[in-house]
Structure formats: C-alpha cells, structure tokens
A and B are shown apart, each in its own frame.
Chain A
Amino acid sequence: MSYTLLAAEGAPNPLLPHSAEIVVGFVAFGLLYFVMLKKVVPMFEKAFKARTEAIQGGIERAEKAQAEAADALVQYKEQLSNAQSESQALREDARVQGVAIVEELRAKAQEEAARITAAAHASIEAERQQAVTSLRNEVGALAVELASKIVGEALDDQARQSRIVDRFLEDLEKSK
C-alpha cells in the first residue's frame, strides 16, 4: 500500500495495516522486550530479592536471638531448680547421716560401757572368789591353830585367856 495510492483514494481506511509499520512494530517491540528481559528485569528482581532478604534476614536474626535468649532462660531456671533440689537432697542426706552416726556412736558407747561393767563385775567376782577361797583356808588354819593353842595351855584365868587372844590377834596382824 503506497502513500500516493492512499492520497488518490481520498479518506483511507484506518483499519488497514501498513506493511512497513508491521515489520517495524515487531522488530521494535522485540528489541525492547529483549532489553527488558536481559537488562532491566533481572536487575530490578535482584534489587527486590536483596531487599526482601535484608528485611527478612533482620527479622529472622531477631527472632533467632529471642529464641536463644528464651532457651537460655529456660536452661538457667532448670539449672537453678536442679541445684535447689540437689542441695535439699544433700541437706536431707546429711541430716539422716548425722542421726545415724549419733545413733551408732551411742550404741557403741553403751556396748563399751556394758563390756567394761561386765569385765569389772567379772574381776570383782574373781577377786571375791579368791578372797573367799584364801579366807576359808586361812580361817580354817587359824581356827585350828587357835584351838590347838587354847587346848594346849591351861585356861585357868581370865588374864591368860585374854593374853592368848591378844597374842593370836597380834600374830594374825603380823602374818598379814
């Protein structure tokens, strides 16, 4: 379709396309599309992505820090309560052990006392026994000696009698 033809026809039909314009339209639009696709859109997208990441990263970091702090708090609380219950248990243990030790010592002391008492009783008994035995022997001998002395001398008067007893007693003293 040429311009001279159009001009001759009078008012041209505006709905009829023009070949040169069609070609240029496609080429120009294609070129622009190519520029946008390769140069413009990727750069804008990169900036968008960086921006999103910057914002999101900040939020995520803050959230992470908060979560860590909360974790630490829980941990500390747990440790604290552990320590408290542990000390409680230790105290309880110590008390129980103390009571046990006192009890044990007391038992031991009583036992010892009983043992000592028993030993004392035994030795006393033994000594008594010994005393009784020796006493019996001596008393016998003495009785026999006294009797023989009394029988051997004439027991006429009171003075003699008492002298004999005194002498006996003196002898008894000496022999001790």
Chain B
Amino acid sequence: MRSMFSFRAEGSEFIPPSSKDFVLPPIFGDNEFTTKPIFLVIFSVVIISIFFIAASRKASIVPSKLQFAGESVYAYVRNDLGKDIIGHEFMRFVPYLFTLFVFILTNNIFGIVPLIQFPTMSRISFAYVLGIITFGVFHYVGIRHHGIFKYLKDILFMPGVPKPVYILLTPIEIATYLIVRPLTISLRLFANMFAGHLLLMIFILGGEHLLQGAIGLKLVSPFAFAFGIAITFFEFLVQCLQAYIFTLLTALYIGGALADEH
C-alpha cells in the first residue's frame, strides 16, 4: 500500500517510512473498526481458536500430529512459564498465560507472513490492552491472596528494610507497581514490533527506491533486499522472544503477587 503512495514518479525523493505508515485507513468508508490491524486481531482470534480447538478436541493419551503440535505449545507455557514460575497455584493462571502467549505470538508473526506483513502489536493500543489486563490480574491476585491492607503495606513498606530507606524505596516501589510495570511491559512489546516493522520497511522500500535510481544505485539495491530478508529472519526471532517475554513477565508478576515475601 505504501509503495503505491510513495513512489508515484521515478526519481521522486525517497520518503523514509515513519509512524504514519502504521496508521492504516479504514477499509470500509469511515468506519474505524474496519482497519487492517483490527481485522488482523480478529483474524488471529479465529485462526488460533480453530487451530487449538481442532488440536485439543480429541485429545488422547497417544497424541495425533495436530494434537502434538498444539500440546507442545500448551505444555511449554503450562510448565515452563506457569508451573516453574508461579508455583503450586499455577493452574489457575495457565489459561490466561496460554492465551497471552499464542495471541501475542500469532499477532507478532503476522509481521513477516507474506501478504499480511503487519505486526498487530506495533499498534500500541493492543499492547496497552494486554498490559492493562496483566496489571489488573496481578494486582487482583495479590489483593485476593494477602488482603488489601497487607498487600498495599508490602508494596509501600517492603519488609526487612531499615526504616530510613523507605524514604527512597517507597516512591520507587509505588512507581514500579503502578506505572513502570504496566507501561514497560506494553512498551517493550510495542516498541520491538514497531521498530522491527520500520526496519523491514526501510530495507525493502529503500531497495525498491534504489532500483528506480541511477545504474549505480540499482546495483546496490539487491544488497538492501538481501538485508531485508536477513532482517525478516531476525524479526521472527524477536517476535517469538517478545511473546515469550511478555508472558514470562506476567507470570513473574503474578508469582510475585502470590509470594509471601515481596
């Protein structure tokens, strides 16, 4: 879509990709609910649901190939992110962690899937949504587990610390629990996807632009494309990693809220 707008005439000035490229117009008229990112999110929910329902519908002792594929992802989140980090109460949070992981992973990978090629999480709204849910979940869990007063007291006055240190520590703790955690978890995901997509656009669109320039520039163009492909592989790694990190941090926060000592 971008290429159609950016390179109307040969030799026109190269317009570097910017945050404008992440604002995609509605597909149907003026309806804000018909943008590509929104369709992608809905599409991700549909395909994830279909895949995992199909994989788990006839779950048996000896798994089919499909069940094995779904089960591997599930077991990974359940055991490595749930059980090992949260502890004995982990089973309550497995559905949430699992949903989080596959949702983020799928939407991230949209960034390198041909024809789709847009990581939904590079729209910060979705990252905020997930950050807010995680924020709500871990505070709710902590309050339910400790009671509101003890929970707040543990946050405001970390036990086992000399009293004068509270002057420094209490504001830091408040900022950590109320602002830093939900914001950083969202921003980390968003920024990685945003920057990755920007990087891809620069190399691919840049390569395209070079192709339209003088003969010398045309010769450089393949390198730009090759680099773009290399970056694509790198992006795949980042996309998986970010899904993992978001889920891992959520599990850590829940585990921390459940722990008896902060």
Residues of A within 8 A of B (CB): 2-3, 6-7, 10-22, 24-26, 28-29, 31-33, 35-37, 39-41, 43-44, 46-48, 50-51, 54
Question: Distance in Å from the Cβ of A12 to the closest Cβ of chain B?
Answer: 6
Supply 18 A–B pairs (Cβ within 8 Å), ascending by A: A7-B23, A12-B20, A13-B19, A18-B123, A21-B123, A26-B133, A28-B44, A29-B133, A32-B103, A35-B45, A35-B49, A36-B95, A37-B99, A43-B59, A44-B75, A47-B60, A47-B71, A54-B61
Structural contact, A28 and B124, CB atoms closer than 8 A: no
In the bound complex, residues from chain B placing their C-beta under 8 Å from that of A14 are: 19, 22, 124, 190, 194
Q: Is B38 in the interface zone, CB < 8 Å from A?
A: yes
Q: Is B98 in the interface zone, CB < 8 Å from A?
A: yes
Q: Is B130 in the interface zone, CB < 8 Å from A?
A: yes
Structural contact, A33 and B61, CB atoms closer than 8 A: no
Cα-based distance from A2 to B32 in the complex (angstroms): 8
**Helix, strand, loop or mixed for chain B's interface?**
helix
Cα-based distance from A13 to B18 in the complex (angstroms): 10
**Helix, strand, loop or mixed for chain A's interface?**
helix
In the bound complex, residues from chain B placing their C-beta under 8 Å from that of A31 are: 45, 49
Structural contact, B125 and A17, CB atoms closer than 8 A: yes
Interface centre among A6, A13, A15 (most CB of B within 10 A): A15
Structural contact, B124 and A3, CB atoms closer than 8 A: no
Structural contact, A50 and B23, CB atoms closer than 8 A: no
| Chain B 30-62: CB-based contact to A (< 8 A → 1; otherwise 0) | 001101011001101100110011011101110
Contact of B60 among A15, A19, A22, A50 (CB under 8 A): A50
